[in-house]
């Protein structure tokens, strides 16, 4: 059925604001031309972009965005603002991130035009070994509990970012987070729903129950939640920097909790940990440069996916058409198969990054895409241990300052409230990133002390000439495929960054089979035809949280700054106010 006929048949059933994902550039241009001579026919995206000549902070929670913008107004730069907003997110969205998790960032420095990558993912502690787990009759990595915990990297990441790029003292940057932890904040809608869902993960640990289930239950929408233990932990960091976390009382609390739960952590496991500055990796997509961070992260899969997608004329196919979706879904399977086969900590295995990112490899892989049928098996059998991992809770945020410096930052506990372990008196959940290790001896991602696991969280950057976009979309294994869809929305279909975030998406969170989830804004006729090709489709709603939540900031040649925030989250892109004093 022609695309326009599909759209016309679908139009009566869906509000206009959610139909963005059904438009091609041509159809949108026709609408705009019509509006020049007639009354407007309605909005075709739910939100407008934020636009300013000053800074913008975009996060998944409005208090965090506003806190970052406040730091900009006080004279801080994009890095200062990003850390402030990230710290507040750890207070107000505690299931998703916090000082018990890891952090990755891409920083664009306006004065040099350079991109810098930071990998602040933590390593396995000394006592967490394959042999130790085998002694407990464990054949797969536990997904919760102390055996899934790796050393948190976020606070050390803040330290590295501030040392290299920051302009404000840490105590000032952390003051908004300390305020909200000490005095409380009203819990927002999507965060409250996640808290309810994640409650079972908190019931098996005394510290977790005491911290996150006041009165024995999760907070409801509008309830005021306080976390004074976390306020104290943040004060220690504000006073002593990274040593306030990796040494002293906090470190001893973590070591003690681990020992009581059955894993040996040492003081040096914490004190010796340092993030790494890494060289970003990139590819070109129809004249745009797309940048991710190198392994141990999954960003390489987004680039591989785009390299395959580039072999097909997606703009001719039409946005979220049968042909376009089929190509992207099949490219996802192939890219993720290579990801899981080869990616681990590059300090422990040779990851063939150049080979995986070559255009020749993409051409060969794209040749495997059958235009008529879905492939249900592309994942190597030796990585079947990752076939059915759970989803993830993460935050992504981006910031730009008035000088044009940009930060693309992602931070996570992995699962909701991470491991479900809270060391008494600390006020934060420890991540469960260790759940991503393999217990297969000899595998590139096999568990070992001081080794980092394959990681899901990835920041990204997109640029062409003087247009630059810091963007990301959180959500476990959703991320690389969501990044590729965002880039295609901008490049192939001419969407602005807000429209590109809002557009209907698909996600495939498994690594075998023909299952794929889609939002209901995708045409029923398109869904039906994809099903006839062998795709097993689950429809998840209009704006589904399973598709992740993204944020983006952009600058152009005129020095105008733009911000976008995904309606799948509680957040917003908040602009900096200038100094309004009369000259």
Whole-angstrom distance, CA of residue 428 vs CA of residue 420? 10
Which range of residues forms the domain containing residue 201?
A: 64-130+148-276+412-436
Whole-angstrom distance, CA of residue 267 vs CA of residue 255? 7
Q: How many domains does the chain have?
A: 1
Element (H, E) at 107: strand 102-109
Tell me if 478 is assigned to some domain: no
Rg (CA), the chain: 23
| Whether the predicted pLDDT of 351 surpasses 90 | no
| Whether the predicted pLDDT of 429 surpasses 90 | yes
**Is the distance from CB of 124 to CB of 448 less than 8 angstroms?**
yes
Mean pLDDT of 436-465: 93
| Whether the predicted pLDDT of 20 surpasses 90 | no
* Token output for 455: 């990681």
Phi, psi for residue 570 in degrees, rounded to 5: -85, 0
Mean pLDDT of 359-380: 88
Strand pairing of 102-109 and 114-120? Answer: antiparallel
Whole-angstrom distance, CA of residue 481 vs CA of residue 473? 9
- Establish whether 394 is a catalytic residue: yes
**Whole-number pLDDT of residue 217:** 95
Tell me if 430 is assigned to some domain: yes
| Whether the predicted pLDDT of 257 surpasses 80 | yes
Mean pLDDT of 171-185: 98
Burial of 467 (0-12, 13-18, 19+ CB in 10 A): middle
Lateral strand order in the sheet of 406-414: 276-278, 114-120, 102-109, 406-414, 393-400, 56-59, 572-575
In the chain, the percentage of residues whose pLDDT exceeds 70 is 90
The answer to which of 69-83, 231-245, 333-347, 539-553 has the lowest mean pLDDT is 333-347
SS3 of 39-70: the string is CCCCCCCCCCCEEECCCEEEECEHHHHHHHHH
Tell me if 50 is assigned to some domain: no
| Whether the predicted pLDDT of 582 surpasses 90 | no
Tell me if 352 is assigned to some domain: no
In whole numbers, what is the pLDDT of the chain averaged over residues? Answer: 90
**Whole-number pLDDT of residue 17:** 37
Q: Distances in Å between the alpha carbon of 320 and those of 197, 286, 393? A: 31, 19, 26
Q: Which residue has the higher pLDDT, 208 or 16?
A: 208
Burial of 15 (0-12, 13-18, 19+ CB in 10 A): exposed
Could you count the other beta carbons within 10 Å of the beta carbon of residue 140? 12
Phi, psi for residue 299 in degrees, rounded to 5: -55, -30
Whole-angstrom distance, CA of residue 290 vs CA of residue 469? 10
Burial of 575 (0-12, 13-18, 19+ CB in 10 A): buried
Q: 297: Cβ–Cβ under 8 A, 6 or more apart, which residues?
A: 104, 119, 121, 343, 455, 456, 457, 458
Mean pLDDT of 265-281: 97
Could you count the other beta carbons within 10 Å of the beta carbon of residue 76? 24
**Is the distance from CB of 185 to CB of 159 less than 8 angstroms?**
no
**Is the distance from CB of 65 to CB of 573 less than 8 angstroms?**
yes
Could you count the other beta carbons within 10 Å of the beta carbon of residue 16? 13
pLDDT in tens, 136-152: 899 999 999 999 999 99
Confidence band (pLDDT; 50, 70, 90) for 393? confident
pLDDT in tens, 491-533: 999 999 999 999 999 999 988 899 999 999 999 999 999 999 9
Whole-angstrom distance, CA of residue 4 vs CA of residue 505? 19
The active-site residue, picked from 59, 150, 394, 456, is: 394
Tell me if 393 is assigned to some domain: no
* Token output for 281: 């990796």
**Is the distance from CB of 92 to CB of 64 less than 8 angstroms?**
yes
| Whether the predicted pLDDT of 485 surpasses 50 | yes
Work out the angle at residue 243's Cα, subtended by the Cα atoms of residues 123 and 132, and round it to the nearest 5 degrees.
Answer: 30
Q: Is residue 246 classed as helix, strand or coil in its secondary structure?
A: helix
Top mean pLDDT of 26-40, 334-348, 549-563 is at: 549-563
Tell me if 561 is assigned to some domain: no
pLDDT in tens, 189-235: 999 999 999 999 899 999 999 999 998 999 999 999 999 999 999 99
Tell me if 157 is assigned to some domain: yes
Tell me if 142 is assigned to some domain: no
Buried b / exposed e along 433-445 (16+ C-beta atoms within 10 A): bbbbbbbbeebbb
Work out the angle at residue 306's Cα, subtended by the Cα atoms of residues 304 and 312, and round it to the nearest 5 degrees.
Answer: 120
| Whether the predicted pLDDT of 3 surpasses 50 | no
**Whole-number pLDDT of residue 41:** 61
Instruction: Tell which residue, 484, 516, 475, has the closest CA to residue 393.
Output: 475
């Amino acid at each position: 059925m022609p695309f326009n006929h599909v759209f016309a048949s679908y139009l009566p059933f869906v509000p206009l604001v959610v139909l963005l994902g059904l438009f091609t550039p041509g159809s949108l241009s026709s609408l705009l031309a019509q509006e020049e001579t007639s009354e407007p026919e309605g909005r075709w995206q739910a939100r407008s972009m934020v636009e300013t000549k000053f800074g913008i902070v975009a996060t998944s929670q409005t208090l965090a965005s506003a806190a970052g913008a406040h730091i900009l107004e006080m004279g801080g730069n994009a890095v200062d603002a990003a850390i402030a907003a990230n710290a507040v997110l750890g207070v107000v969205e505690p299931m998703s991130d916090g000082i018990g998790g890891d952090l990755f960032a891409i920083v664009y420095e306006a004065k040099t035009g350079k991109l810098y990558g930071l990998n602040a993912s933590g390593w396995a502690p000394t006592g967490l070994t394959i042999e130790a787990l085998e002694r407990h009759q464990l054949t797969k990595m536990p997904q919760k509990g102390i055996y899934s915990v790796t050393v948190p990297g976020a606070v050390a990441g803040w330290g590295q970012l501030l040392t290299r790029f920051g302009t404000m003292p840490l105590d000032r940057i952390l003051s908004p987070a300390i305020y909200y932890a000490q005095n409380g904040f009203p819990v927002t809608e999507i965060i409250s729903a996640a808290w309810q869902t994640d409650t079972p993960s908190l019931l098996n640990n005394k510290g977790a129950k005491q911290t996150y289930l006041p009165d024995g239950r999760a907070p409801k929408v509008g309830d005021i939640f306080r976390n004074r233990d976390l306020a104290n932990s943040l004060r220690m960091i504000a006073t002593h920097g990274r040593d306030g976390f990796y040494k002293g009382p906090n470190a001893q609390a973590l070591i003690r909790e681990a020992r009581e739960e059955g894993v040996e952590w040492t003081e040096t496991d914490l004190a010796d940990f340092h993030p790494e500055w890494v060289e970003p990796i990139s590819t070109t997509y129809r004249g745009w440069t797309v940048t991710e961070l190198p392994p141990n992260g999954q960003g390489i899969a987004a680039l591989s996916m785009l390299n395959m997608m580039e072999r097909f004329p997606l703009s001719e196919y039409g946005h979220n058409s049968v042909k376009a979706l089929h190509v992207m879904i099949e490219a996802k399977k192939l890219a993720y198969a290579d990801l899981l086969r080869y990616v681990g900590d590059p300090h422990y295995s040779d990851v063939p990054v150049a080979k995986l990112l070559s255009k020749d490899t993409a051409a060969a892989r794209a040749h495997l895409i059958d235009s008529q049928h879905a492939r249900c098996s592309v994942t190597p059998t030796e990585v079947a241990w990752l076939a059915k991992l759970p989803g993830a809770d993460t935050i992504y945020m981006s910031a730009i300052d008035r000088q044009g410096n940009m930060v693309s930052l992602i931070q996570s506990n992995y699962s909701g409230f991470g491991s479900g372990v809270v060391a008494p008196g600390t006020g934060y959940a420890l991540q469960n990133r260790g759940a991503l290790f393999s217990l297969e001896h000899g595998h590139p991602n096999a568990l070992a002390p001081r080794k980092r696991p394959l990681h899901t969280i990835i920041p990204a950057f997109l640029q062409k000439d003087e247009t630059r976009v810091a963007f990301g979309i959180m959500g476990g294994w959703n991320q690389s495929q969501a990044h590729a869809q965002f880039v295609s929305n901008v490049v192939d279909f001419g969407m602005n960054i807000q429209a590109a975030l809002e557009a209907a998406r698909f996600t495939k969170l498994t690594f075998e089979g023909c299952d794929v989830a889609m939002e209901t804004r995708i045409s029923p006729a398109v869904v039906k035809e994809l099903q006839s090709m062998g795709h097993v489709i689950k429809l998840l709603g209009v704006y589904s949280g399973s598709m992740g939540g993204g944020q983006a900031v952009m600058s152009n040649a005129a020095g105008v700054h733009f911000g976008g925030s995904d309606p799948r989250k509680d957040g917003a892109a908040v602009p900096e106010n200038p100094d309004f004093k009369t000259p």
